[in-house]
Each structure stands twice: as structure tokens, then as C-alpha cells.
A and B are shown apart, each in its own frame.
Chain A
Amino acid sequence: MEIREKENRQVKVKVSHLTKKFGDLLVLNDISFDVEKGDLLCVVGPTGCGKTTFLNSLTKIYDVTSGEILLDGHPADPKKDHIAYIFQGNSTMPWLTVEQNVAFGLDIRHVPKREKQELTDRYLEIVGLTKYRRYYPKQLSASMLQRVSIARAFATEPELLLMDEPYGQLDIELRFKLEDELVRLWEMTGTTVIFITHNIEEAVYLGEHIMVLTNKPTTVKETMRNPLPRPRDIAAPEFVRLRERVTDLIRWW
């Protein structure tokens, strides 16, 4: 436990003065934050607050106008550093089976065959899809597809996992199930996760830390630690209090 505590204090991602302009339009304004190694950081902000731009800048899909993103102390480079993404909606390849989809990221990284098979088997088992390994995505439900994406991302054992509203379109019951599964995987692997969502309840349920963004031009309004013990209870008074506090910071509607 103590070792983990110590590890936790190590900074994995350091973002300093991240600024992004489109022409004259300032979208991200001087964003700075740290993510500790093994953290699960939930990022919430009002609708239309530039979360997508934030993510795309973080992954260097966009060139940032100014500022720095450091991963383990060196400038992050998606070509070299091992960053995995999970998006909303289905991003599985329809022409590959469930098993091949999970192995896809490993193929790209030229993981040796034996190891690839082991990792694939392990993560299929963890997300409970071993039975469906020979199925094609078309034959699966939305939540199963999202599980395939999650297994695919975790199987590559990324240094950093970015999740962009991955459960936005699922109904509550499935969402809770997958959220619990994510927490389990995160606890097991100690992966550093940045989880972006619109859903305040989800952010409070999942996050070790919660970062609240403002409306455009986006800045960090507040970052808070979420001390609630797991498993969390959405009806517990402390949970409700934290949820309301975050809501007050965001509320535009």
C-alpha cells in the first residue's frame, strides 16, 4: 500500500499552459494540470466546452498553439509513446472477429505471437467475452462492443489511456456495469486513465480526481480529489454532496 502511495505521487502527465487557437478563436486558454501515475482523472465541463479540442490537442491530433504536454518528463509523442484511446460509439473493425479485434493493437505493436495470444485471452476473460471470441461485431450488442474496445485498449497495456465519453449512449444499467468493470481493470493494472464525460454522476462515481472545465475559451475551473471509498453509492449523502458541488461548478442549463 505504501509503495503504491509513493508511486502515486509520481507525475505521469504534465500539461502546462496548453493553449489552442483556431485563427483568432481562442478555444483552450492556458490549461495546466498534472496527472499522477496510476490516477483515474475524470474531466467534466459544460456542453460545448471544447472537450473534443482538449482531447485532440492532448493526443496531438491538433498542433497546439502554445504550451507543453510532458509524458514522464519528455514531450509526449503519439508515435512513440504508448497512448490508447476509447471513444464513444463503436470503433471495432467489422471485418475482424472479437478476438482479432482485441489482438489488433498488439499486431500493430508487433507483439510476439505467444504473448499476443496470452494477452488476448486474458483480457477477453476479464471483460467476459471469451465465449464470443469468434463472433463478428455485427452480432454483438452495443455494450459488448464497448467491452471489445476496452479489452483492445487494455490488452496493449498502455502508459496512458484516454477515454472520451465511452458510455454516453448506453442505458444506465449497462453503464454502471461497465463503469464497475473499468474500475476493476484500472485497479488491477494501475493504468493511468483520463476519462472525459458530460455526465457528472459518472465523473463522481469513477474519478480519483475530478477536473472541472469552464465554457469556451476553456480553462481549468477546479481540480478536486474524490475521497469517497469504493465501491461508491450514488445515493450516499457524501456522494450527493460532491455531485451537487460539481454540478454547481458546471451548471449552464
Chain B
Amino acid sequence: MNKKQKNITELICAVVSILTFLILWHIGVKGELGRLMPGPLPVIRMFFATLFGGTIGSRTMIIHILYSLIRVMAGYFLGAAVGVVLGLSMGWSRLVEAVFSPLFRIIRPIPPIAWIPISIIWIGLGEDAKIFLIFLASFCYVTLNAWSGAKNVDPDYLRAARMLGAGKRQLLFTIVLPASIPSIFAGLQVALSSCWATVLAAEMVRSSEGLGWIIIAGMNNNDMVQIMTGILAIGLVGMLLSMIFRKVEARLCQWNKSGS
């Protein structure tokens, strides 16, 4: 089977599996269940109706999505930047590792949403608090992966580079950093889904816009269609993000893919 045929087969399978799911859903809510659960059609209709034109609350769907996305991105990149620097330093320097690793080991197992009450008491649950929570979610995973990436650099790379005359700083930037990139990316990927979960939780606790708010507002109004529309949007945006992520990774880690 050549590549083209394979892609077509995969596409057909994807379409069939999604369609089957929608049809089952459609049939499933025909009876008693229909009172608790809307069918797929009203949900899809509402999604597209509110996407640019109509509103949920006072805003269109796209604005809600943007609100959530911007919160995620701000915290995510901040956390990633700090995480990469801290993680690499911990992997590179015994001293930095000795200082930070005990602290880090305690903070790491605490899920970001556990901080929500504290944030509310300290700084309310405004934008900065939400971004802080997302920062935590991203920071922990990225640090951990950058750290293990830097610690597990193949010692032969380091020996080869030293043989070729690389100094300490050069080793860090030309060997440890690139060699850690696959591991860092694995961390970034987990961090992204963790951030996405955190923003929804934060929005569900307190906010007046965003995808988390759509779901909570739907619950308060007993509007099942709105809840399901929110969930659909979350799924789609999440999928889109991870697709973009994989494209970026494939670009940056070209050397890591064999395939002929």
C-alpha cells in the first residue's frame, strides 16, 4: 500500500467513525434520554449560529474562545520560558539542582487548581490570577522535562564536543540545549493540555466570558444545548491546538525523524 492510498484510507475511517458516533448520538437521544440530553443537530446548529453572528451571554463564540486562548497562551509561554531555563539549569549544574529540586519536588504534585482558593483570597480571581494558575500548570511539566532532558544527554555527545574543542558555555548551548529539545517538546505537549484544563476550571469558578463560563452559565440556566456546545468547542479547540503543536514540533525536530 503506498502513502497516498494509506492517507485516503485513514481519512475515510475518520469520517466514518465520526459520522457513526453522531448518528448513534442522534438515535440515542430519540427516546426518554432526549429530555436530559440534546441531539447533535441543535448543538452543531448553535455552535455555528453563535460562532460569529449570535451570542452566548453578551459575546459571540469566537470571542469566548479567544478569551480562553489568550489566557492560556499568556500563562503557557511564561511558564514554558521559565521552565526551560530552570530545567536546563537544574540538569546542567549540580548546585542549581541541589537548591531547586527539593522545592520543586513538593510543588510539582500539587495540581494547579488546588491553588484557586488561595488565588481568590490573595488577588481575587481576575486575569492575573488565572494566568498565574496556568503558569503553574505549564511551568511544572516543562521544568521537569527540560531537567530530565538535560540530565540524560548522551555523554558521548559531550565527549565528542569536548574533543572538538567546545568550552563549558558552548557545551550548554550547542549540545545540551538541542539534545534536550525532544524531551522539552514532550513536556510542552503535556503542559498544553494541562493549561487548557486549568483555564476551564478557573473560568468555571469565576469569570464572565470564556469557554468554561459557557458551560457553567449553561448549567445555571439549565440549558443543555449551551453546555454541549461549550464542550464541543473545547474539543475542537483542543484538537486544533495539538495539531498546530505537532506541526511546529515536526518543523523544529526534523533531525529526530528517521523515515526514508
Chain A residues within CB distance 8 Å of chain B: 23-24
Which residue of the partner chain B has the closest CB to A25? B2
B residues near A24, Cβ cutoff 8 Å:
2
Which residue of the partner chain A has the closest CB to B2? A23
Give Cα A23 to B1, complex, Å: 6
Give Cα A23 to B2, complex, Å: 6
3 sample A-B contacts, Cβ–Cβ < 8 Å, listed by A number: A23-B1, A23-B2, A24-B2
Give Cα A24 to B3, complex, Å: 12
Which residue of the partner chain A has the closest CB to B1? A23
- Please provide the chain B residues from 1 to 38 with a CB less than 8 Å away from any CB of chain A in the complex: 1-2
Give Cα A68 to B1, complex, Å: 22
Q: How far is the CB of B209 from chain A (nearest CB, A)?
A: 53
Give Cα A24 to B2, complex, Å: 9
A residues near B2, Cβ cutoff 8 Å:
23-24
**Chain B: number of interface residues, binned into ranges:** under 10
The 3 lowest CB-CB distance pairs between A and B, nearest first, are: A23-B2, A23-B1, A24-B2
Which residue of the partner chain A has the closest CB to B5? A23
Which residue of the partner chain B has the closest CB to A23? B2
Q: How far is the CB of A160 from chain B (nearest CB, A)?
A: 30
Give Cα A23 to B5, complex, Å: 11
Give Cα A24 to B4, complex, Å: 13
Give Cα A248 to B3, complex, Å: 38
Q: How far is the CB of A241 from chain B (nearest CB, A)?
A: 39
Which residue of the partner chain B has the closest CB to A24? B2
Give Cα A24 to B5, complex, Å: 13
A residues near B1, Cβ cutoff 8 Å:
23
Which residue of the partner chain A has the closest CB to B3? A23
Give Cα A23 to B6, complex, Å: 12
Q: How far is the CB of B2 from chain A (nearest CB, A)?
A: 5
Give Cα A24 to B1, complex, Å: 9
Give Cα A23 to B4, complex, Å: 11
Q: How far is the CB of B40 from chain A (nearest CB, A)?
A: 39
Q: How far is the CB of B124 from chain A (nearest CB, A)?
A: 55
Give Cα A35 to B204, complex, Å: 73
B residues near A23, Cβ cutoff 8 Å:
1-2
Q: How far is the CB of A73 from chain B (nearest CB, A)?
A: 33
Give Cα A177 to B153, complex, Å: 38
Q: How far is the CB of A203 from chain B (nearest CB, A)?
A: 28
Q: How far is the CB of A26 from chain B (nearest CB, A)?
A: 14
Q: How far is the CB of B102 from chain A (nearest CB, A)?
A: 33
Give Cα A121 to B15, complex, Å: 57
- Please provide the chain B residues from 152 to 178 with a CB less than 8 Å away from any CB of chain A in the complex: none
Q: How far is the CB of A24 from chain B (nearest CB, A)?
A: 8
Q: How far is the CB of B9 from chain A (nearest CB, A)?
A: 14
Q: How far is the CB of B167 from chain A (nearest CB, A)?
A: 36
Give Cα A212 to B61, complex, Å: 69
Q: How far is the CB of A45 from chain B (nearest CB, A)?
A: 20
Q: How far is the CB of B253 from chain A (nearest CB, A)?
A: 27
